[in-house]
Structure 1
Amino acid sequence: MMRHKSLPLTETTYLILLALIEPGHGYVIMQKVEDLSNHEVKIAAGTMYGALDNLLKQKWITTVPSEDKRRKVYQITEEGMEVLQAETKRMENILELAHSMMKGR
């Protein structure tokens, strides 16, 4: 499998895509990212909305209908899921390599 041209992803982008496997609005995304990262990654609102705009332009996420008209709800797209899976596989390969190189040390 050929490496996706957009890899590697930033940690923030990866976590946002992961968070959006289930639809969510901005505040929910910020909370999920913090939870997924064991409170190590905190995204400021400006940073997150910039990232969401970028992900929308790349068609990795989309907006979905919301019951609350004041909040935009986002969800990962099929293309976004492919990128997320490719990045996950890339990181798994790196971990496997690291584990095998450090065995016995």
Structure 2
Amino acid sequence: MGQEHLPLTEGVYYILLSLYEPRHGYGIMQLTEELSKGRVQLGAGTIYGAIKTLVGRKWIVALDDDGRKKEYVITDLGKTMVEYEMKRLNELYENGLLMTKGEKQK
């Protein structure tokens, strides 16, 4: 498995989810807090450091700046990463259910 398929941090996962619609950093912070019901709160330093990394990986792109706050949106590659992570998390969840209910994997 290449580094591009490593598990995503929770923060990166929420940032990517937030960018299915164009948003600026503060909007990402707000939506992440809303989606996680306040459990995940991303600071400005975390957001902007992650944005720089995600732009470098081509998982998100900056939209044309028209003088307002810079907005970002997820790319097709970023969407692929989210789908991969959802499958990984689902496998963890399903295996957890199997084992905690005392069933063995077939």
TM-score over 0.5 for the pair: yes
TM-score calculated relative to the size of structure 2: 0.88
Point out which structure has higher relative CO (alpha carbons under 8 A, 6+ apart). Answer: 1
- What amino acid is aligned across from residue 70 of structure 2 in structure 1? K
1:97 to 86, 95, 98: 95
CA RMSD of aligned residues (A): 1.7
Map of 2:56 onto structure 1:
57
Which has the higher mean CA deviation after the structures are superposed, 95-104 or 82-91?
95-104
Give structure 2 stretches of 5+ with no counterpart. Answer: none
- Which deviates the most, 92-101 or 3-12? 3-12
1:27-86 deviation per Cα after TM superposition (whole angstroms, max 9, x unaligned):
1110011111110111111111001001000000001235x5131010000000001100
Find the counterpart in structure 2 of residue 33 from structure 1. Answer: 32
**Residues paired across the two proteins, number:** 102
Partner of 2:86: 88
SS at match of 2:3: coil
- Following TM superposition, the consecutive aligned residue runs of length 4 or more in structure 1 with deviations greater than 4 angstroms are none
Task: Provide closer, same or farther for how the CA distance between residues 45 and 79 of structure 1 changes in structure 2, counting only shifts above 3 A.
Answer: same
Structure 1 length-normalised TM: 0.89
Aligned equivalent of 1:22: 21
Residue 4 (structure 1) shift: 5.5
> Is there any run of 5+ residues in structure 1 with no aligned partner, and where?
none
